[in-house]
Amino acid sequence: MKPPKNDETDLDSEAARRALDYYLNPNPPRPTQENRIWTLHEGVTKDQAQEHAIALLRCAAATAQETATHQHGSQRELTFALMHMMDMARALLEHNRSVGSGS
């Protein structure tokens, strides 16, 4: 059983966490060439990067579709919209690849 909360002396834990985060955890600096979260290995070609991006988009769209099948209402529609945008981005990359190769 939780002890009764004294509104005059007890801090709301969520408000306290937000206040501490604001003062103790400043926003991280924007990524630069020196502090990126991840980078491509040296020697990765544009075509290899594009192929990998297409594969990542395919996996992300499949994940979104599977997730949407278990949702209802606006959450389902939002997830299907996300899947559609990923499919469009993948189609653009695939089109760019086929145009670039002369196919």
User: pLDDT digit string (tens) for 20-45?
Assistant: 877 788 776 776 767 777 777 889 89
pTM of the model: 0.58
| pLDDT band at residue 10 using 50, 70 and 90 as cut-offs | low
Higher pLDDT, 94 or 34: 94
**CA-to-CA distance for 97 and 92, rounded, in angstroms?**
9
What tokens appear for 27 in the block?
């926003």
The reported pLDDT for the residue numbered 66 is: 94
Please check the confidence at residue 11 and state whether its pLDDT lies above 90. no
The DSSP element (H or E) to which 15 belongs, if any, is: helix 13-24
Task: Provide the residue count of the chain.
Answer: 103
The reported pLDDT for the residue numbered 103 is: 56
* Sequence letter at residue 20: L
What is the distance between the terminal CA atoms of the chain, rounded to a whole angstrom? Answer: 70
Q: What is the mean pLDDT of residues 39-61?
A: 90
The reported pLDDT for the residue numbered 81 is: 95
**CA-to-CA distance for 97 and 47, rounded, in angstroms?**
8
